Amino acid sequence: VEIYSLHVDCKVTSRFAHTVITSRIVNRANESQEATFEVELPKTAFITNFSMSIDGEVYPGIIKEKTAAQNEYDSAVSQGQSAGLVKITDRKLEQFHVSVSIAAASKVTFQLTYEELLKRQLGKYELLIKVRPKQLVKHFQIDVHIFEPQGIHFLETDSTFMTNELTEALTKVQNETKAHILFKPTLDQQKKNSELDETLLNGDFVVRYDVKREATAGDIQIVNGYFVHYFAPQEMPVFPKNVIFVIDRSGSMTGRKIEQTRDALLKILQDLRQEDHFSFITFNNKVVEWKSSLLPATEENVASAAALVQTLTARGGTYISGALLAAVGVLEKAEGLPEQSVSMIILLTDGQPTSGERNVEVIQENVQKAINGKYALFCLGFGFDVSYKFLEKMALSNGGIARRIYENADAALQLQGFYQEVATPILMQIEMQYPENSIEGLTKNNFKLFFEGSEIIVSGKISNELDFLPVEIKAQSHMSNFTLKEEANVKEKEQVFQNQKYIFGNFIERLWAYLNIQQLLEEAISAQEEDQKALEAQALDLSLQYSFLTPLTSMVVTKPQQQEELANKPTEAG
């Protein structure tokens, strides 16, 4: 079975990426064979389309509501047939896998489409394309078109498998607002060496870029009555932070995990700013406060904390509840903290609560009551023995986020990377305001914190014939409260995209739907049961209307001889 053509075609329009992967396979044997299509795509993406065509006959994938699809599938198929077409493979990726039997000398074309909104982290967007054909491919190409009306500030490509020969197959053309990247290696360039038919193409192909930012109140773009507003202020003073690190040192952290935690904490301590205050709480079945109060991040205090970190060892149980409540207690009674500052608790744990209060719902409730909206709680789950659902709900209920730390060689870097994302809060209480009577379906428009290097995105539908869309941004910076105002000329903005030949027409509408679904699903995690159902129902409607494979939908993949398989989107919480 030979893959004779593999094309990855990606169009990024104003951070919204639309990727189509087409694989053409021929069976050169004289009997029927299994042809397999295996693609790794970013977890943050939603699959929107899949089809295979075999000898001119097209078999589409159809997106349906999950339970309905499951019932249909169960009745059509005898139990026990596997339906796991999509599974998480890596901390950034999930894998879509389909195989079909094709007759001798037959051809099959697989095509998969997925979409995602690129998220700005630490000052750049990252488009990740996983390349793993597992064989030499006669016609192989990756074709990326980027159009950013704000202008491209910088653009770089990076790959884990590049050689000097392969670099010759890469071309990059860019002007003020557009970039085109083409990677088209010949068969010879793909080979590990001239004797063997082994491919070099195995790993990540990454495009990183950022856009220019002129306007103070961000940038507004409008297509077909839908708008998107990007806001990422720069060069503003940083709020001092009051951080408590709550570190699990129970028995299961023994060995590499505690070593990696020590390495990461030593680096993070070096990154604290002088105006920050910090403290440590470590816990197993006992909770130990390093100091009874927060200390300023002077050289001396940082050195003394580093000495403590060096001695961290792991044994005993996991008293999560006691440790978090102790952290809140330290923040509550803290004195002499800078008036304008941001307080946060960063929890790192690798297990379930086994000491003290063990009921996760009670822990969530007690922690939320204690924090009472005053501090942000970030939860890092180390490995796969944690209840990620519990950590995610607790973080989202308290103005933070959860992240899984994968037990790889780079775990210390993952921890540091996470800390860098939250290390520089520059705005608080951000409100993005639009004319109420002219906008429908507005996505989330107020945010507790804004960290340098990230981006706020708000999208909505302009409901009546507006000539100008006025926006107002209110926020607190370290120095003052401020208001920014901007007015977008609707006709002019619509014009920007009219003459772009490779833009997929209603991309802002799809971006709006994608953002809405992501936010509704996230909100549902920390909502009460009745609200949860309503939020999920809204997300489901949008998923079906815009044909997105989300955790609430399934894709029914039809095959020859009336065979069916189901594709479901996995989530980090399982």
Same domain, 280 and 172: no
Predicted model pTM:
0.94
Cβ contact 228:512 at 8 Å: yes
Domain extent, residue 57, equals 2-212+554-559
Helix axes 411-422, 256-271, angle to 10 degrees: 30
DSSP string, 237-294: PPPPEEEEEEEE-SGGGTTHHHHHHHHHHHHHHHH--TT-EEEEEEESSSEEESSSS-
**DSSP state letter for 437:** G
Q: Any idea what the CATH number is for the domain that residue 156 is in?
A: 2.60.40
Instruction: Kindly state whether residues 60 and 159 are assigned to the same domain.
Output: yes
The pair of structure tokens assigned to 505 is: 């027409």
φ/ψ of residue 320, rounded to 5: -65, -45
Let me know if residue 80 belongs to a domain: yes
pLDDT at residue 366 in the model: 97
Helix (H, G, I), strand (E, B) or coil at 4: strand
Half-sphere exposure of 203 (CA within 13 A, CB side): 12
Do 15 and 39 lie in one domain? The reply is: yes
DSSP β-ladder status, 2-13 and 139-147: parallel
- Best CA proximity match to 134, nearest among 203, 65, 70: 203
Query: Number of structural domains, the chain?
Result: 3
Report d(CA 368, CA 399) in Å as an integer: 10
Q: Are 371 and 448 within 8 A, CB to CB?
A: no
Residues 320 and 269 placed together within one structural domain of the fold:
yes
Tell me the β-bridge partners of 130.
Answer: 204
CB 539 within 8 A of CB 36: no
d(CA 141, CA 161): 15
**566 is a domain residue:** no
Looking at residue 129, what DSSP letter applies?
E
Residue 338 covered by a domain: yes
Residues 170 and 207 in one domain: yes
Identify the domain boundary among 368, 388, 423.
423
Number of H helices, E strands in the chain: 12, 31
Contacts of 527 (CB under 8 A, 6+ apart): 535
What is the model's pLDDT at position 79? Answer: 43
531 in the same domain as 403: no
Report d(CA 520, CA 538) in Å as an integer.
8
Report how far residue 560's alpha carbon sits from residue 557's, in angstroms, rounded to the nearest whole number.
10
Same-domain pairing of 255 and 359: yes
Closest to 226 in 3D by CA, of 462, 481, 34, 551: 462
Residue 298 lies in a domain: yes
Chain centroid, CA 175 distance in Å: 28
Helix (H, G, I), strand (E, B) or coil at 545: helix
Whether residue 223 is found in the same domain as residue 160: no
Phi-psi region of 547 (alpha: psi -120 to 50; beta: other; left: phi over 0): left
- Statement to judge: residues 316 and 461 lie in one domain: no
Same domain for 195 and 338, yes or no, is: no
Torsions phi, psi for 448 (to 5 deg): -70, -45
Please state, as a whole number, how many other Cβ atoms lie within 10 Å of the Cβ of residue 26.
Answer: 16
Measured distance CA(544)–CA(524) in Å, rounded: 18
User: What is the CATH classification number for the domain harbouring 355?
Assistant: 3.40.50.410
Domain boundary among 423, 457, 481: 423
Count other Cβ atoms within 10 Å, centred on residue 24: 19
- Please state, in angstroms and rounded to a whole number, the distance separating the CA atoms of residues 441 and 489: 20
Dist CA 369 CA 108 (whole Å): 58
- Domain assignment present for 180: yes
Those residues with Cβ within 8 angstroms of residue 344's Cβ, 6 or more apart along the chain or in another chain:
241, 242, 243, 244, 375, 376, 377, 378, 400, 422
C-alpha angle 167/147/115, rounded to 5°? 85
Q: Which of 388, 423, 458 is a domain's end point?
A: 423
Per-residue pLDDT of the chain (574 residues; tens, 9 = 90+): 899 999 999 999 999 999 999 999 999 999 999 999 999 999 999 999 999 999 889 999 999 999 888 887 776 655 434 445 888 888 899 999 998 888 999 999 999 999 999 999 999 999 999 999 999 999 999 999 999 999 999 999 999 999 888 999 999 999 999 999 999 999 999 998 888 889 999 999 999 999 999 878 999 999 989 999 999 998 899 999 999 999 999 999 999 999 999 999 999 999 999 999 999 999 999 999 999 999 999 999 999 999 999 999 999 999 999 999 999 999 999 988 988 999 999 999 998 999 999 999 999 999 999 999 999 999 999 999 999 999 999 999 999 999 999 998 899 999 999 999 999 999 999 999 999 999 999 999 999 999 999 999 999 999 878 899 999 999 999 989 999 999 999 999 988 887 665 456 689 999 999 999 999 999 999 999 999 999 999 999 999 999 999 999 999 888 887 778 888 998 888 7
Residue 96: strand pairing partners:
39, 86
The upper half-sphere exposure of residue 73, i.e. CA atoms within 13 Å in the direction of its Cβ, equals: 26
Same domain, residue pair 276 and 228: no
**Under a CB-based contact definition with an 8 Å cutoff, are residues 145 and 502 in contact?**
yes
Candidates 314, 373, 375, 372; CA nearest to 348 is 314
In a domain, 490, yes or no: yes
Instruction: Record the tokens describing residue 532, joined without a space.
Output: 């949860």
What stretch of H or E contains 458?
strand 456-462
449 part of a folded domain:
yes
Q: Which two three-digit tokens encode residue 119? A: 């998220």
b/e 237-275 (16+ beta carbons within 10 angstroms → b): ebbbbbbbbbbbbbebbeeebbebbbbbbbebbeebeee
User: Quick check: helix, strand or coil at residue 420?
Assistant: helix
What radius of gyration, in Å, describes the C-alpha atoms of the chain? 26
Question: Do the domain assignments include residue 570?
Answer: no
Determine the pLDDT at residue 80: 39
- Do 398 and 517 fall into the same domain? no
> Would you say the C-alpha torsion 291, 296, 301, 303 has a positive or negative sign?
positive
Q: What is the rounded CA–CA span in Å between residue 218 and residue 231?
A: 4
Cβ proximity of 146 and 12 under 8 Å: yes
Question: In the β-sheet with 425-433, what is the strand arrangement from edge to edge?
Answer: 446-451, 425-433, 468-476, 481-489
